[in-house]
Structure 1
């Protein structure tokens, strides 16, 4: 996956050290509205290893999603507030995908996690136990401007000064999706801790997915984001290997060092393999460096100019 002026992204998927085939599938698509503003759709699907044709199920789900996107996304962008309407349509699409998979000769199941990003608004449609995270950063304007200067300077790794205490980042990691699993039900009921759920023998038992039984009830969420915020979509082959705090630490270390999200995605999948994951692993990273219209005419302060000169001279 390649980046452009508005989008920084990286994605990597791997079969892993144990399984013989990769049942994960992903896609990212971008479309422009009539004013040239871009909306992105990112999706990750994890085929169910316990059923025949898990790879077919995940691929089919994403392909049907992409077909819907290419046919309808442009029309939704004619609306003033397109994301809520798109989420409603995506809920219906999940039901259609579920029915389609149920009609297949082979019993095949998959998760599907969809993220929409548009002018500082995000929307989520999700079924299963793949996850979408949001890494929220402090010092929003400063971090965004620094990344832009790094890109212009052709730097993949930040200068040493960028990694010192002078440029501390206030990072918070949020899980934006809810796991449709038996252990998550127990956590919500207060019978199991988050940490105990992470290693519980029944952690892979899903309460909802596509292609196994009739009727799905996708999880939806909406919210706002800043230009420096980072979104991560991943299958359980990655997040099951690390605690929430460990994932936050991994992201923090690489945010301070790299601007190249593709390298980070590859590193994360490699680390999951080295840590002993027994599953396929997919990690997708997306940042939308959008600029609000009123901000485009603002100039950098002398303090920022001085800092840039020190960093990128």
Structure 2
């Protein structure tokens, strides 16, 4: 049985990588040539839709580039490996992306490193359902974007991290991130409109902390002080009404307020989930009072 073109190229690359350098060639040129052959093999495997083998060949290319001190080429090879591994091998994709990030940060290319770190976060959510790792990746990416003056992209990452902190029931961390993004957004007329959304999410986190109306009221007052227009927004009035319903232990009023808001501004899955948590805690508190 004859070998596929990809396998033939891979064998040739392996032979070159393990050969001894001759009189007229250096170790550097040997690794460069082997790297080129591994890249050709990887692309041939992609044509055959053999993505695991393609990823492995790109990873071998990356190692050759590293041995040949071609750091930029090594970063690209690891990224190509990750793209191949994304076709069904998420754990390997994450490992390859981490190698890419390592090379990019060493080279001071933090904007590109942030792009790859954000990819890692997306894989953790979509493929691994690992909210903790995803949250850390988004925060790291956000920090690097901020360093590179990519403020809008940094804020998007911090907002995603805040949502994940809330999903993990780490409400103080979530609130701190929402406030960070809101404070930054207040400084520009282009982004000021989004502040009410961050304040709303923060308010829901406050109420989710064992229905902590004291923190929720304090934060609401702080937000109105920073942005007086928030008090008259639909979101500001919604949070105020929720606080009052929770304070009064009124589950029926709470349900009605949520229903009315949803008729005008469709609630997304995240807000719906948070409101259900608050409502369940409210119901449990009412039942405890009933038992006493």
Which structure features the higher share of strand residues? 1
Which structure features the higher share of helix residues? 2
> TM-score normalized by structure 2?
0.25
If asked which structure has higher relative contact order (CA below 8 Å, sep 6+), I would say: 1
> TM-score normalized by structure 1?
0.24
